[in-house]
């Protein structure tokens, strides 16, 4: 498989990139770099054609200006990213998939204005109430440590931590053994900046999901304050968007994926927004 060398835009470390890769993680700083296809080498035009092409371009632009001036209001799909956030996000519609049949896993990632990240994971397994069961935390990078955790419809019995090396760093996750008194249980966790890349000008949230065959519904909700400026939603796309209280909430269905997918949203932080009611977010999925 052919390979080439690129460099991390943050720490300038060399990166080995194989053909066909869509993203790469810097082993030094953990930055996720989304790869774009290299543009083909532009053709060199002879000088005698340049003036003619310039005149054609001016004529085309003049025609577009006339159409807009005459009241044309149609907006193409490619123009959505250039209009204000509150307009182009409205194009993300989608119906609710709040079906509780079978086993359900629901996760809420709430990205706060101070760069802390709240992670709520709710499990619904019919008949699991009144049993001792296991809950797993997400994997956390060094510096993204857990700040607080409370349990929903369950009491903690014991916990264990595990470490795993990933791209030269040591990630940590926790196994919570709980006594669940309802078949609808989970945890509400606050992390330093889990699944968030803090950059100078903006923020990149990056959540990965792998195929599974256990849950009938596997839904991920991502919440960003309404006051934040969302500049890009790329890679795996949401099936639904709503505004709830002071938040933009995007829903992703990863139930039937057949390979690893990445959820990426780039935004400029906004101001404080009060915490979401996770049950409202879940019921709107």
CA atoms of 30 and 32, how far apart (whole Å): 6
CA atoms of 225 and 229, how far apart (whole Å): 9
Tell me the pLDDT tens digit for each residue of 246-258. Answer: 999 999 999 999 9
The beta strands (E) that lie in the chain are given as: 3-7, 14-18, 23-25, 32-34, 104-111, 117-124, 131-136, 146-152, 154-166, 169-180, 184-191, 196-198, 203-209, 217-225, 229-235, 240-244, 247-253, 261-268
pTM beyond 0.75: the answer is: no
- pLDDT tens over the chain, length 285 residues: 444 555 565 555 566 655 555 666 665 555 666 654 333 333 333 333 344 444 444 444 444 343 434 333 333 333 333 334 455 555 565 667 666 568 899 999 999 999 999 999 999 988 877 889 999 999 998 888 899 999 999 999 999 999 998 888 899 999 999 999 999 999 999 999 999 999 999 999 999 999 998 898 999 999 999 999 999 999 999 999 999 999 999 999 999 999 999 999 999 999 999 999 999 999 888
**Three-class DSSP category at 68:** helix
Q: Please, how many CA atoms are within 13 Å of residue 181, restricted to the half-sphere of its CB? A: 7
Predicted pLDDT of residue 192: 94
Predicted pLDDT of residue 235: 94
| Cβ neighbours of residue 157 closer than 8 Å, sequence gap 6 or more | 132, 177, 178, 179
CA atoms of 160 and 178, how far apart (whole Å): 12
CA atoms of 175 and 160, how far apart (whole Å): 5
| Cβ neighbours of residue 192 closer than 8 Å, sequence gap 6 or more | 115, 116, 117, 143, 144, 145, 146, 147
What b/e string do you get for 21-53 counting C-beta neighbours within 10 Å, with b at 16 or more? eeebbbbbebbebeeeeeeeeeeeeeeeeeeee
């Amino acid at each position: 498989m052919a390979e080439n060398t690129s460099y991390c835009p943050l720490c300038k470390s060399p990166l080995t990139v194989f053909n066909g890769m869509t993203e790469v993680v810097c082993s030094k700083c953990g930055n996720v770099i989304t790869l774009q296809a290299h543009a083909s080498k532009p053709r060199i035009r002879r000088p005698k054609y340049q003036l003619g092409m310039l005149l054609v371009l001016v004529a085309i632009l003049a025609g577009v200006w006339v159409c807009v001036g005459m009241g044309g209001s149609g907006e193409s799909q490619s123009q959505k990213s250039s209009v204000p956030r509150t307009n182009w996000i409205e194009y993300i519609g989608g119906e609710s998939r709040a079906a509780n049949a079978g086993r359900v896993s629901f996760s809420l990632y709430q990205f706060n204005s101070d760069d802390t990240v709240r992670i709520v994971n709710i499990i619904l397994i019919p008949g699991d109430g009144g049993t001792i069961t296991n809950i797993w935390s997400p994997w956390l990078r060094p510096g993204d440590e857990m700040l607080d955790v409370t349990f929903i419809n369950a009491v903690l019995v014991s916990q264990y931590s595990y470490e795993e090396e990933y791209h030269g760093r040591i990630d940590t996750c926790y196994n919570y053994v709980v006594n669940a008194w309802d078949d609808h249980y989970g945890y509400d966790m606050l992390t330093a900046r889990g699944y968030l890349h803090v950059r100078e000008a903006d923020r990149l949230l990056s959540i990965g999901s792998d195929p599974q065959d256990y849950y009938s519904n596997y839904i991920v909700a991502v919440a960003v304050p309404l006051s934040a400026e969302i500049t890009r939603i790329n890679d795996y796309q949401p099936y639904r968007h709503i505004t709830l209280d002071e938040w933009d909430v995007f829903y992703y269905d990863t139930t039937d994926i057949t390979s690893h997918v990445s959820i990426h949203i780039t935004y400029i932080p906004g101001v404080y927004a009060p915490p979401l009611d996770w049950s409202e977010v879940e019921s709107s999925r």
